[in-house]
Amino acid sequence: MKTNMKNFDFILPTKIRFGYEIYKEIGKEVKELGRSKPIIITDKGLISAGVVDKITKKLEEEGIKEYVIFDSIEPNPKDITVQKAYEEAKRYSVDCLIAIGGGSSMDTAKAVGVLMTHGGIINDYEGLNKITKSIDNLIAIPTTVGTGSEVTFWSVITDTNRHYKMSIGSPLIAPKTALVDPLLVESLPSKIVASTGMDALTHAIEGYTCTLSEPITDACGIFAIKMLAENIRDAVYTDSVDAKAKMLLGSLIAGICFGNSDIAGVHCMAEALGGLYDTPHGIANAILLPFVVEYNFVSDIDKFAEIAKALGENIDGMSVRDAAYQSVAALKKLNKDLMIPTINEIDAKIEDIEELAKRASVNVSVGSNPRSVGEAEFLQIFKRAFEA
Ligand SMILES: [Fe+2]
């Protein structure tokens, strides 16, 4: 097995509790943190679906009756939304954060935690390790199968002035507890399973192949790729509860992987798309993934051959290089099967590729791409995607 043997640190500060009906433990978990007055950070869709109600009932049963709900989370959360949520947290003097939702809710909750402990505005903390104090009061409850944000050290927030997705990273912002319950993703719409599931697969592939990968992230990464690839079609197109549960778990394991290594070129480009056009994050990743893998696969043919196999390709009898290249075909097939749009079918315009490449090239994770990449290469990859 090819792995990147070197000295490394591996950190997982989050207590993970996985299982059917585990959300019912929310009150006990708040008490275990020694807190009593949470703010719940979520979106209106989860309010109307009754998910938030189910969870607040459990809080009340544990005697936690004073809580505030902030339900204005949008996809690609903005700095101004973080500020509004923070103002609410201050107004009600809350002592605890509960994020219910996908990456947008969890990333916003992390950002609010940063402001509660450090003050200022969230834009002050862009980059890696600008945080000096731990957020010790965040419980994350994921309701999509994609971000892995319940176990990562990253919060991605859009800077509204620059139309740019800022990455704020530090182990100090990881949730204290993750309650990961397959019941909460059972009725997730197919489209969301497809887009968030492709985000998770991108995390696993980038976490497994990036320059910061190490043996533990490799183990998590390749396991997650296999688990996600084996279940994503069933999770999207059938009522299989088991397939959705495995997507949820695969997404979490992918989060452990890239949280300790990094993401890479796909996310640099996808975040540029998301910043400029508000493209849903999973869709942006899915669109760009085959094209970035096509660029990257020569950097580590052993790993990309393993990826092709994990994606279900029969690579018997192939040279390692051919097997590695097969990962590109597998990802294109997957996008087609999941009806992911092409870059020409979203709001993106080919006239913007220079701006997009420029934005991608200043992403904090550019240096983690397995093959050296910069503005000129991003431009070529965007061009290929538009011309495909
Ligand atoms: Fe992502």
Query: Is residue 95 one of the residues assigned to a domain?
Result: yes
Least confident of 63-67, 74-78, 262-266, 268-272: 74-78
Query: Is residue 215 one of the residues assigned to a domain?
Result: yes
Q: How far is the CA of 369 from the centre of ligand 1 (A)?
A: 15
pLDDT band at 164 (very low <50, low <70, confident <90, very high): confident
Distance CA 178, CA 140 (A): 5
Domain of residue 24, CATH code = 3.40.50.1970
Q: How far is the CA of 275 from the centre of ligand 1 (A)?
A: 13
Which string of DSSP letters, residue by residue, matches 102-126? SHHHHHHHHHHHHHHHH-S-GGGG-
Domain termination site, one of 141, 165, 185: 185
From the list 162, 115, 121, the residue with the least C-alpha distance to 135 is: 115
The three-point CA angle 215-219-220 to 5° equals: 120
Query: Is residue 372 one of the residues assigned to a domain?
Result: yes
Query: Is residue 4 one of the residues assigned to a domain?
Result: no
Q: What is the pLDDT of residue 146?
A: 86
Helix axes 353-361, 375-387, angle to 10 degrees: 140
Q: How far is the CA of 282 from the centre of ligand 1 (A)?
A: 7
Distance CA 384, CA 338 (A): 21
Residues 172 and 253 in one domain: no
Mean pLDDT of 367-374: 98
Number of domains in the chain: 2
Least confident of 91-100, 138-147, 163-172, 347-356: 163-172
Q: How far is the CA of 7 from the centre of ligand 1 (A)?
A: 26
From the list 123, 93, 122, 92, the residue with the least C-alpha distance to 110 is: 122
Q: How far is the CA of 24 from the centre of ligand 1 (A)?
A: 28
Quick one: tokens of 41? Answer: 């950070």
pTM of the entire structure? 0.94
Q: How far is the CA of 258 from the centre of ligand 1 (A)?
A: 9
Contact between 23 and 54 under an 8 Å Cβ cutoff? The reply is yes
Distance CA 303, CA 324 (A): 7
Distance CA 263, CA 335 (A): 20
User: Is the pLDDT at 95 greater than 80, yes or no?
Assistant: yes
Domain of residue 339, CATH code = 1.20.1090.10
Residues 72 and 204 in one domain: no
Distance CA 54, CA 73 (A): 19
Residues 25 and 94 in one domain: yes
pLDDT band at 33 (very low <50, low <70, confident <90, very high): very high
Domain with 71, as residue range(s), is: 15-185
Per-residue pLDDT tens over the stretch 220-249:
999 999 999 999 999 999 999 999 999 999
Domain termination site, one of 185, 210, 239: 185
Residues 38 and 151 in one domain: yes
pLDDT band at 165 (very low <50, low <70, confident <90, very high): confident
Query: Is residue 377 one of the residues assigned to a domain?
Result: yes
Residues 195 and 273 in one domain: yes
Q: How far is the CA of 114 from the centre of ligand 1 (A)?
A: 20
Quick one: tokens of 236? Answer: 């999207």
pLDDT over 70, % of the chain: 100
Domain termination site, one of 185, 205, 235: 185
Pairing of strands 138-142, 127-128: unpaired
Residues 200 and 175 in one domain: no
Helix axes 281-296, 375-387, angle to 10 degrees: 110
